[in-house]
Amino acid sequence: MNNKINLLIAVILFISASQIRGQEWIAPADKASVSNPSEYNLANVKKGKEIYQKNCKSCHGDAGKYNALPLVPVPPDVASEIMHSNTEGGLFHKITAGKGGMPQFETTLSEDDRWRLVNYIMNYNPNVEPVLVEAPPVKAKIMASVNEVNKQVEVFAEFDNNGTFEKLADAEVIVSAKKTFGNLVIGKALTDENGRALFTIPESHIGDEEGYVKLVVALGEGYEVAALDLKSAKVGKLKEIPKLIKGGEILWSTNENIQPWLLFSYLGAVGGAWLAIGYIIFLIFRIRKYSKL
């Protein structure tokens, strides 16, 4: 009797434990109680944000926008309740150790950086005074031109100051190349006091077979402006066509590139077989004719 009750309790415990495991992720108490050694200030949060954009955003999405990748389980948003049910030590532990779809960052980010990430997440904690407040985006305008000889892009940016556009200084300009599957960021520049930024395309950037690159210019975060698509410009290195495709040495290819021997073998075999079939059909007619003998 006693045994049965014990077994029942064990089963119930096991089931509830596995349920918890399936639902939430709990950091061990000793890790959760570790306190944050780095200071919660604007510099650290900003740095944390930078690291977050590079390493975490692809899965977790933008803070407060709940646009995470639809993984199972879904990576919680930085501003979400799940995130902030963690202590700072707990967050640090989870970033360090990872679990399932969440990679470990112990070997890829320094301890300082991981604590900065915690500071960045804490910026969105409802009980913490935010130090990094994102202002509503400012309307802006960009103009750009390309100098093919110097391989330079010149950008002018202006912002909307209550109805009049004025020069936009110290704004981040992002120059990318349009590729088949999205934009490839080539580099960034800052505008000067005249709202002007000059960006030199690196020598190593590869264009199409003739060196053309479709450049796209955009402003960094905080500005409301559509990315500017520029005309194709000859600013890249020539793309080399892999020899394999040009030369036709491979069997698996299009009809234009087909190896003659392969085509002839195929047509020869098929033609031969169907000629023989045609001959049989002819014989069938012959049999019919012979019945009149």
Only one residue has tokens 């940016």, namely: 157
Interaction pattern, residues 30-69, with another protein; x per rule: CB under 8 A: ---------------------------------------x
Which of 81, 121, 253, 268 binds another protein (CB under 8 A)? It is 253
In angstroms, what is the minimal distance from the CB of 246 to ligand HEC? Answer: 38
For ligand HEC, give the closer residue by CB, 92 or 159.
92
Which of 127, 133, 203, 290 binds another protein (CB under 8 A)? It is 290
55 binds, among another protein, ligand HEC, none (CB under 5 to 8 A by kind): ligand HEC
| Of 127, 74, 130, 97, the residue nearest 26 (C-alpha) | 97
Neighbouring-strand partners of residue 159: 140, 166
276 binds another protein (CB under 8 A): yes
Q: Supply the Cα-derived Rg of the chain in whole angstroms.
A: 32
Taking a C-beta distance cutoff of 8 angstroms, is the pair 225, 219 a contact?
yes
Cα dist. 57→69, 75, 217, 222, 274 in Å?
9, 10, 22, 17, 61
In angstroms, what is the minimal distance from the CB of 240 to another protein? Answer: 24
Rule CB under 8 A: which of 71-130 touch another protein?
Answer: 71-72
Q: Residue 131: which residues within 8 A CB-CB, separation 6 or more?
A: 40, 41, 42, 45, 123
Interaction pattern, residues 50-69, with ligand HEC; x per rule: CB under 6 A: -----xx-xxx---------
For ligand HEC, give the closer residue by CB, 119 or 176.
119
Integer Cα distance of 118 and 45 in angstroms: 8
Q: Residue 53: which residues within 8 A CB-CB, separation 6 or more?
A: none
Residues in the chain, overall count? 293
In angstroms, what is the minimal distance from the CB of 223 to ligand HEC? Answer: 25
In angstroms, what is the minimal distance from the CB of 104 to another protein? Answer: 16
Task: Tell me 40's DSSP state.
Answer: -
Hey, is 249 helix, strand or coil?
A: coil
β-strands 223-224, 152-161: how paired?
unpaired
266 binds another protein (CB under 8 A): yes
Neighbouring-strand partners of residue 213: 233
Task: Tell me 255's DSSP state.
Answer: G
44 binds, among another protein, ligand HEC, none (CB under 5 to 8 A by kind): none
116 binds ligand HEC (CB under 6 A): no
14 binds another protein (CB under 8 A): no
Binding site for another protein (CB under 8 A): 69, 71-72, 251-255, 258-259, 262-263, 266-267, 269-270, 273-274, 276-277, 279-280, 283-284, 286-288, 290-293
